[in-house]
Amino acid sequence: MVCPNCQSNISDKRIRCDRCGQDLILYKKIFRASNMYYNNGLTRAKVRDLSGAIVALKKSLELNKANTNARNLLGLIYFEMGETVAALSEWVISRYFMPDGNDADKYINDIQDNPTRLDGLNQAIKRYNNALVFAKQGSDDLATIQLKRVIQLNPHFLRAYHLLSLLYMKNGENERAKKCLLRAARIDVSNTSTLRYLKELEPQPIQARDGDTNVGSDKETTSSIMPLTSYREEKPNIMAFVNLVIGVLIGLAVAAFLILPSMKNDDVTKNNQDLVDYSAGMAALEEKEKAIAQLQEEKDALEENLILLRAELDGIVIPESNPKLYDPLFDISSLYMDELAKEEKDREFRQIAENLKALDTSMYESDTSLQLIERIKQEIYPIVSKQYYDTGHDLYSGAKYEEALQDLFLAYNYDPTNVNAIYFIGRTYHRLQDYDSARTYYEIVINEFPDSRRYQNAKNYLDRIQD
C-alpha cells in the first residue's frame, strides 16, 4: 500500500504511516470499497451485464481513480460494446497511473499492431456518424445502408444496432427491428435502451370501452339469425380445376430442373468459402496467441534479470579509501538497466561492451562486484558479437573486406564460440588472397566446431588452398 500523503510504501496491516504519521483507516475503507465495486463490476461483466458493470466500475473509479484493474476492465467493456475511443481513453489513463507491468499496454498494442482492424473500427465510427446525419435529415434508406456496413465492420457496435432498429420501427418493419435488438441483447443483456425498444415492439392489449359490451351482445344475437337468400350454388367447373393442377405441376418441374441445382451450387460454394475463412481466421488467431505468449515469457525473463541486477548492485560495498573506484561499474550497470527497459529491437549494447573491455577489474576486491561484471558480460557479449557479425557480414557482401575484418574480429573477440564470425574471417582473408591467415581460421572451424554447418564449407575451401 502507498501512503496518500507522503507516497511511501507501507504494510497493509498498518493503520498509520510510519514516515509521516498519516491516519490510514479512512483511506483503507475507501480503498476496500473501490475494490468491492470492482469485484461487483467483474461479476456483472462475466454474465454480460455490461451496463450494470459500467455503473459499478465508475463508482469504483470515483473512490480510487488509480484503480488500474477497474479502469482496464471498463475499457474492455467499452470495447466490447463498440466504443473504441472510450476504451482507448481508459487504457491510456490507466497506463499513466501505472506505466510498468500494466495490461493496458497489451490491449493498446493489440489494436495498434493490426492496422487493418484499426482502420475498420475508424471507418465504422465515421459511417455511424454519417448514418446519424442521414437519419436526422429523413434519409432513412441511406442511413440504413450505412448502419448495415457499420455492423459488418464492427459487429459489437451497440449504438448502431439501436439506431438501425429505430429506423426499422419507424418504417413499420418490426420483425427486422426485433432481430437487431435481440442481437444487441446478446452483447449487453441489461441495456436499458435495448429493453425499452423491445417493450415497444410487444403487441399492445386492446382496451374495451364503455358500451362495447352491448354492441358485442347485439352482434352475437343478430349473428344467430340466418337471412333468407335466393342464391343457388353453381355447379363446379371441372376444367378450371384441371388447368390449375397442370399449371402447378409445370411450375414445380421448372423449379426442380432449373432453380434447385443453382441454389444447391450456391450453398456449396458459400459453405466452402465460410470453411476457408473460418480456418484462416483460426490459424491467424493461433499465431497471434503464440506470439503474445512468447513475448510475455521474454518480458518476464528480462524483468527477473533486471531485479537480480538491481539486487547485486545494491549489495556492492564501496571502500571508504576510494569511493570513486566503483563509479565506472555503476555507470555500466545504469546503462545496461536503461537498455533493458527499452524494446528489444531498440537496445544497443556496443558502448556498454566497450566500457566493460576498458574496465580494470584488478582494482576491485569485492566478490559481488566481480560477479556483477561477469554476469553483465555473459548477458551482452553474445548479443554484441552477433551485432558485429551482422555488420561485418554486410560489409563482406559488399566487397569491403578490410572494414569487414574489423567488425568480424570484434564479433570473435566478444564471443569466441561465434563460428559464423570465425568462418567469415577465413573467407575474408581468402578473398584478400592472404591464404596463410585464411588457413588458420578454416582450421579453427574444422577442429573446434566439427558439428557446425560451416564445417564442410571450411573443409572444402581449405582443400582448395592446400591444392
Residue 254 belongs to some domain of the structure: no
Task: Write down which residue in 173, 201, 229 finishes a domain.
Answer: 201
Residue 156 belongs to some domain of the structure: yes
pLDDT tens digits, 173-186: 888 888 888 988 88
User: Are 99 and 33 found together in one domain?
Assistant: yes
Q: How far apart are CA 165 and CA 179, in angstroms?
A: 8
Looking at residue 231, its pLDDT comes to 38
Give the contacts of 146 (CB within 8 A, at least 6 positions apart).
127, 128, 130, 131, 134
Each of the 467 residues of the chain gets a pLDDT tens digit; together they read 566 555 556 656 565 655 555 666 777 788 788 889 999 989 988 888 888 889 999 998 888 888 889 899 999 999 888 888 888 888 889 888 888 888 888 888 888 888 888 888 888 888 889 888 988 888 888 888 888 888 888 888 888 888 988 988 888 888 888 888 898 888 888 888 888 888 888 876 655 455 444 444 444 443 444 444 443 444 445 565 566 667 777 777 766 666 666 666 666 666 666 655 556 666 667 777 777 888 788 777 777 777 777 776 666 554 444 545 667 777 777 777 777 777 777 777 788 878 777 777 776 666 777 777 778 888 888 888 888 899 999 999 998 999 999 999 988 988 899 999 999 999 999 999 898 898 999 999 999 999 888 999 988 998 888 76
Looking at residue 229, its pLDDT comes to 41
Cα 152 off chain centre by: 20
Instruction: Supply the angle between the helices 140-153 and 115-137 in degrees, to the nearest 10.
Output: 160
Q: How far apart are CA 3 and CA 47, in angstroms?
A: 36
DSSP 319-363: PSS-TTTTHHHHHHHHHHHHHHTS-GGG---HHHHHHHHH--GGG
- Amino acid at site 111: I
Give the contacts of 382 (CB within 8 A, at least 6 positions apart).
414, 415, 418
339: exposed, middle or buried (C-beta count within 10 Å: 0-12, 13-18, 19+)? Answer: middle
Q: How far apart are CA 64 and CA 28, in angstroms?
A: 11
User: Are 109 and 141 found together in one domain?
Assistant: no
Residue 295 belongs to some domain of the structure: no
Give the contacts of 118 (CB within 8 A, at least 6 positions apart).
111, 112
What domain count does the chain have? 3
User: Are 334 and 398 found together in one domain?
Assistant: yes
Task: Write down which residue in 95, 113, 131 finishes a domain.
Answer: 113
User: Are 164 and 126 found together in one domain?
Assistant: yes
pLDDT tens digits, 203-229: 766 554 554 444 444 444 434 444 444
Residue 398 belongs to some domain of the structure: yes
CB 385 within 8 A of CB 419: no
Give the contacts of 340 (CB within 8 A, at least 6 positions apart).
302, 305, 306, 347
Looking at residue 261, its pLDDT comes to 64
Looking at residue 425, its pLDDT comes to 92
Measured on CA atoms in the order 396, 401, 406, 409, is the torsion positive or negative? positive
CB 18 within 8 A of CB 32: no
Looking at residue 309, its pLDDT comes to 72
User: Are 143 and 94 found together in one domain?
Assistant: no
Residue 9 belongs to some domain of the structure: no
Looking at residue 467, its pLDDT comes to 66
Looking at residue 224, its pLDDT comes to 41
Tell me the residue range of the domain where 359 lies.
327-416
User: Are 98 and 174 found together in one domain?
Assistant: no
436: exposed, middle or buried (C-beta count within 10 Å: 0-12, 13-18, 19+)? Answer: exposed
User: Hey, how many other C-beta atoms are within 10 angstroms of the C-beta on 438?
Assistant: 23
Residue 433 belongs to some domain of the structure: no
Q: Is 192 helix (H, G, I), strand (E, B) or coil?
A: helix
User: Are 335 and 397 found together in one domain?
Assistant: yes
CATH number, position 48: 1.25.40.10
User: Are 98 and 29 found together in one domain?
Assistant: yes
Q: How far apart are CA 253 and CA 136, in angstroms?
A: 50
Residue 52 belongs to some domain of the structure: yes
Task: Write down which residue in 113, 147, 172 finishes a domain.
Answer: 113
Residue 90 belongs to some domain of the structure: yes
Q: How far, in Å, are 166, 171, 201, 286 from residue 196 at the CA level?
A: 11, 18, 9, 40
